[in-house]
Amino acid sequence: MAMLALRIEFLTGVFMATDRHDATRRRPEWPPHPDRLFSALVAAAAALPEASEGNLPDRAKDALRWLAGQSWTDKGEVIAPQLHASPAHPRDAPDVYMPTNPHEDEVPKSLTKKNSPGTVSEESRKKLQKVLPAYRTRKALPIPAVVPEDPVVTFLWPEADPREHRDTLAAICACVTYLGRSRSLVRVTLDPDPPQPTHVPDPDGAIQLRVPGANRLKELKDTFRATRRPDPAPVQGYRCVADPAPASGPIPSSFDRMYIFRPDPQDPALPAVAAPAAARALRAGLMEAVAAAQTANNLPVQVPGIVKGAKGAPMCAFVALPFVHPRQRHADGSVKGLAVLVPEAARHEYRTQVALGLECLVSTGLRLPGVGLWRLEEVTDDTQAMRTLRSATWRGPSRQWTTAVPMRFGHVPKPGNGGEAGVILDSLGRAGVAPDDVLEITVARHSPLHGAPPSWAFKPRRNAAEEGPPTPRLRHVTVRFARPVDGPLVIGAGRFLGHGLMLPLVED
């Protein structure tokens, strides 16, 4: 069946646009509104070779009028476009101080004297100088932006037959260079095999998107000629398409609480390979903080078993959170924060002691041997923080997980016992995942995540003459499960001290 789909790829992985419904102009727009795309197509049509002085070619006007009409029924109901858009996360960025725009009265109408053509008057020179950006006052300008998990958005018109206008639309799409702000670079193409929609029109939907009307092209042309901004297109309701319910619920995590902390921006930076050492320092710091908190409250010093690792007791996992990502190539792997994972089976009094100890640790700071002091701040669900420091990033659920920090093997895998896969299955079993729920295991020295160093980079440095136990085997592991698995998920022999931290991957 014929249909039209436009694929928008954000070349920098970032979409910069302001939500017009936000009076503070600090909230980013997501997903992109259909009217924003239509306006970009109209502007791109003016760049076609046969266009002249802002006049669109006839074939472009016909194609754009046809496209605007495909969103509506004869009864005035919105039926398209549908959208396929992944979740997106607001980008943290400071305000940019920009020169203010001059009022039209500040711009001189003429630069020359009436009786002296070619000579700029001194008055006009001074007036013109005040218009230049270097001499204007500057005001804080927020630049809201989002980082989508998948930097591709698809607009779909399932009932449209584009055969008559396909070539013209393809030519117009090729001229679109940005969507939203001019720094939000895109590539727009016709998609012959589009994905299923995630957002569909619904009059009762909670998501409000601007959809161009059938006469939108004329409105844009008229306002352009009048040198004024166009009025926004009418807002229409959309809803998210619910994912089909799985046959059974996700496999639960063995951890039910995740405390996340970030350092002060001025604190020393840590590379990804320092993640295990940072995790050990966090555990040692918490043990001291728990003892200090108990002493301050006139209680006997007794570090809970979930922290010190009492035999038979469930243990907290201490992990460093590296900046890694499956798609964002600028991820550098640096440690952006630390986390304490509290096991679901932990007793209430142990949980209380951990909470008091963490509160004390935040007030005193965490000393990292050989690095310096980290002044910690707890990151909660209400804290504005980068994606790496959000608990949802590490929780899933997902059917596919991969290591952000390589897994440590407790012993040399033996081929007769299943080799590396057998060791991984045993570790997953201790995390509550049965072998029957594992479909595929991939073991490699390199991670599929941008920013994650190869596994050998995490091996402890040792002089050739230095004696000691054999260097443990470290590997990056990717696992595909038969059903979703909840996180946080850590595997391997060093799972409680920084190794084997896994990241859920978005399923294709």
Q: What is the pLDDT of residue 484?
A: 92
CA-to-CA distance for 493 and 46, rounded, in angstroms?
Answer: 62
Number of Cβ within a 10 Å radius of residue 258: 19
Q: What is the pLDDT of residue 310?
A: 63
For residue range 478-490, what is the model confidence (pLDDT) as tens digits?
Answer: 999 988 999 999 9
Quote the DSSP letter at residue 48: S
**Helix spans in 132-180 (H):** 166-174
CB 479, CB 385: distance < 8 Å: no
Q: What is the pLDDT of residue 109?
A: 65
Which residues of the chain carry a pLDDT beneath 70?
1, 22-24, 54, 93, 107-120, 242-248, 299, 308-312, 461-470, 507-508
Q: What is the pLDDT of residue 120?
A: 67
pTM flag (> 0.85) = no
CB 408, CB 340: distance < 8 Å: no
CA-to-CA distance for 398 and 148, rounded, in angstroms?
Answer: 18
Q: What is the pLDDT of residue 469?
A: 56
Q: What is the pLDDT of residue 467?
A: 54
Torsion of Cα atoms, 65 then 71 then 76 then 77, to 10°: 180
> What residue type is assigned to position 432 of the chain?
G
Crossing angle for the helix pair 58-69 and 166-174, to the nearest 10 degrees: 100
Cis ω for the linkage preceding 81 (within 30 of 0): yes
Q: What is the pLDDT of residue 243?
A: 46
* Beta pairing partners, 53: none
Which helix (H) or strand (E) segment holds residue 295: the answer is: helix 275-296
For residue range 221-240, what is the model confidence (pLDDT) as tens digits?
Answer: 899 888 888 888 988 989 99
